[in-house]
C-alpha cells in the first residue's frame, strides 16, 4: 500500500469514525453522560486533547485493524481486530477511572466498554469495505 493510499484510507476512516461517533455522542448518549458524570464534566470541552485522542485512535484502527484486513483480503478481519482495539482503548480509560476516581459510575464503564468495542469494530469494518472499493485493493 502506498503512502497516498494510506493517507486516503486514513481520511476514509476519519470520516466513518466521526459519522458513527458523533451520532453516539450527540444524540444517543448525550444525556446519559451528563446524568452519570455531570458533576465531573467541564463546561467547555478541551478540544486539543479530544482531537488528539481521535487522531491517535483512528491511526491505531488503521494500523492494527484496517490495513491488516485489507492486506489479507478479509474485511471481516477488520471487524474483529477493530473491536479488540476499541475494547482495549476504552477499557484503558474507563477501568483506570474506575480504579482511581471516587464515585466513578460502574455503568459508565460497562457502557463505554461496549461502545468502544462496537465503535472500533464497525469503523474498521466499514473503512476496510470502503477502502477496498475506493482503492481497488
Q: pLDDT confidence of 137, banded at 50, 70, 90?
A: low
80/71 Cα distance (integer angstroms): 15
Which tens digit of pLDDT belongs to each residue from 73-121? Answer: 999 999 999 999 999 999 999 999 999 999 999 999 999 999 999 999 9
The pLDDT of residue 25 is: 82
Range of the domain at 80: 3-135
Model pTM? 0.91
The pLDDT of residue 1 is: 81
Q: Please tell me the total count of domains within the chain.
A: 1
Question: How much of the chain, in percent, has pLDDT values that exceed 70?
Answer: 99
Q: Give the mean pLDDT of the chain.
A: 93
The pLDDT of residue 81 is: 98
Q: Which of 42-46, 50-54, 105-109, 113-117 has the lowest mean pLDDT?
A: 42-46
- Residue among 124, 87, 79 at smallest CA distance from 109: 87
Cell of 8: 486516503
Residues 6 or more apart whose Cβ sits within 8 Å of residue 116: 86, 87, 89, 90, 91
Tell me the residue ranges of DSSP E strands in the chain. none
The pLDDT of residue 28 is: 78
Amino acid at each position: 500500500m502506498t503512502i497516498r493510499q494510506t493517507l486516503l484510507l486514513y481520511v476514509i476512516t476519519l470520516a466513518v469514525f466521526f459519522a458513527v461517533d458523533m451520532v453516539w455522542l450527540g444524540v444517543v448518549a448525550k444525556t446519559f453522560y451528563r446524568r452519570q458524570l455531570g458533576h465531573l464534566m467541564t463546561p467547555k470541552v478541551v478540544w486539543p486533547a479530544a482531537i488528539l485522542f481521535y487522531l491517535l485512535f483512528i491511526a491505531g484502527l488503521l494500523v492494527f485493524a484496517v490495513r491488516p484486513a485489507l492486506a489479507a483480503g478479509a474485511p471481516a478481519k477488520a471487524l474483529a481486530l477493530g473491536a479488540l482495539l476499541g475494547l482495549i482503548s476504552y477499557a484503558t480509560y474507563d477501568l483506570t477511572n474506575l480504579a482511581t476516581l471516587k464515585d466513578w459510575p460502574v455503568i459508565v464503564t460497562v457502557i463505554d466498554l461496549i461502545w468502544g468495542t462496537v465503535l472500533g469494530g464497525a469503523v474498521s469494518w466499514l473503512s476496510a469495505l470502503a477502502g477496498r472499493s475506493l482503492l481497488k485493493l
